[in-house]
Amino acid sequence: MLDQFFFYIFAAVILLGGLLTITRRSAVHSAIFLIATLLGIAGLYLHLQAEFLAGVQVILYVGGIMVLFLFVIMLVNLDQAARQRQFNRQWWLALLAAAAVCGEALYGLYRGRGAFSFPGAMPGNVPPNTQAVGNALYQNYMLPFEVASIMLLVAMVGAVVMAKKRL
């Protein structure tokens, strides 16, 4: 009962945050609502007893990625962009496409409605999420983990090289 209540709260935060992100005029307001959405997702992770993921989600997404988003938003002069017309003239085509996608999504949900049930809290001794994630990463998914780290390193070095005026 409490489970469902918290699930709906987090879901509401996520959906509302997402909606408000795309409808705000000011980019900074959009970023703030995106932060709210990400915090809601962290809450969902907690709800699923994946506390490590929740902590890492907050540190990386909110504390790292959104901070950088805000850096860019604030340093680039976006006032002019905000003052432009928000909708272009082909809004009817966009509405048609959105309705089509929405219809497909609703159909998919209708077909799979049997899968909606709240699993209760996992019984017995749950291995702490940190250990579980660590074991998975270093035993089963070692190669993807290393590849991901190398990709991040390449991205970092590339960004530094592109940004420097003189090497």
Partner 1 sequence: MPPITLATLKPYIIMVLIVGIGPLGVGYLVLLERKLMADMQARLGPMRVGPQGLLQPIADAVKLLLKEDVIPGMVDKWVFWLAPCVTVTTALAAFSLVPFSSEFVVTDVNIGVLAILALSSVGVLGIILGGWAANSHYPLLGSLRCTAQMVSYEVVMGFAVVAVLLMAGSLSMVEIVKAQAESHRWFLFGAFPFGLIAFFMYYVAAMAETNRSPFDLPEAESELVAGFMTEYSGFRWALYFLAEYCNIIIVCSIAVTLFLGGWLRPFPSVKLLGWLDYAAPVGSSLLVGGLSLYLVKRQPRAFDQIVLAAIGLAFVAVAGLFAWPAFNELFRGVFWFIAKIMVLVYSFMWVRFTFPRYRYDQLMRLGWRLMIPLGIVNVIAIGIVLVLRG
Partner 2 sequence: MADDLKHTTAEATFLDASEIVLNMGPQHPATHGVLRVILKLDGEKIIGTECVVGYLHRGVEKIGENRTYVQFNPYVDRLDYVASVSNGLGYCEAVEKLLNVTAPPRAQTVRVILTELNRIASHLIWLGTHALDIGAMTPLFYTFNQREDILKIYENYCGARLTTHAFRIGGLQYDLYEGFEQQVKKFCDELPAKVDEYEWLLTTNRIWVARTQGVGILTAEEAIDLGVTGPMLRASGVKWDIRKALPYENYAEFDFDIPTGKNGDTYDRYLVRLEEMRQARRIIQQAVERIPDGPIMAKVPKVVKPPAGEVYHSIEAPKGELGYFIVSDGGLQPYRLRIRPPSFVNLQALDRMVRGSLVADVVAVIGTTDIVLGEVDR
Q: Contact between 77 and partner 2 (CB under 8 A)?
A: yes
Query: Contacts with partner 1 in 32-71 (CB under 8 A)?
Result: 32, 35, 39, 51-52, 54-56, 58-59, 62-64, 66-67, 70-71
Look up tokens 């966009």; give the residue. 94
What does the block give as tokens for 163?
Answer: 């940004």
Give the nearer residue to partner 2 in terms of CB position, either 76 or 167. 76
Question: Is 86 in a helix, a strand, or coil?
Answer: coil
Give the nearer residue to partner 2 in terms of CB position, either 4 or 77. 77
User: In 3D, which of 69, 85, 72, 79 has the Cα closest to residue 32?
Assistant: 69
Give the nearer residue to partner 1 in terms of CB position, either 13 or 35. 35
What does the block give as tokens for 79?
Answer: 């006032």
Please answer whether residues 1 and 47 qualify as being in contact, where contact means their C-beta atoms are separated by less than 8 angstroms.
no
Q: Contact between 27 and partner 1 (CB under 8 A)?
A: no
CA 120 → CA 104, 123, 127, 148, 153, distances in Å? 30, 8, 16, 33, 40
Please answer whether residues 42 and 129 qualify as being in contact, where contact means their C-beta atoms are separated by less than 8 angstroms.
no
**Which helix (H) or strand (E) covers residue 51, if one does?**
helix 51-56
User: Please, what is the minimum distance in Å from the beta carbon of residue 75 to partner 1?
Assistant: 7
76 binds, among partner 2, partner 1, none (CB under 5 to 8 A by kind): partner 2
Q: Contact between 76 and partner 2 (CB under 8 A)?
A: yes
Residues in the site for partner 1, rule: CB under 8 A? 2, 26, 28-29, 32, 35, 39, 51-52, 54-56, 58-59, 62-64, 66-67, 70-71, 74-75, 128-130
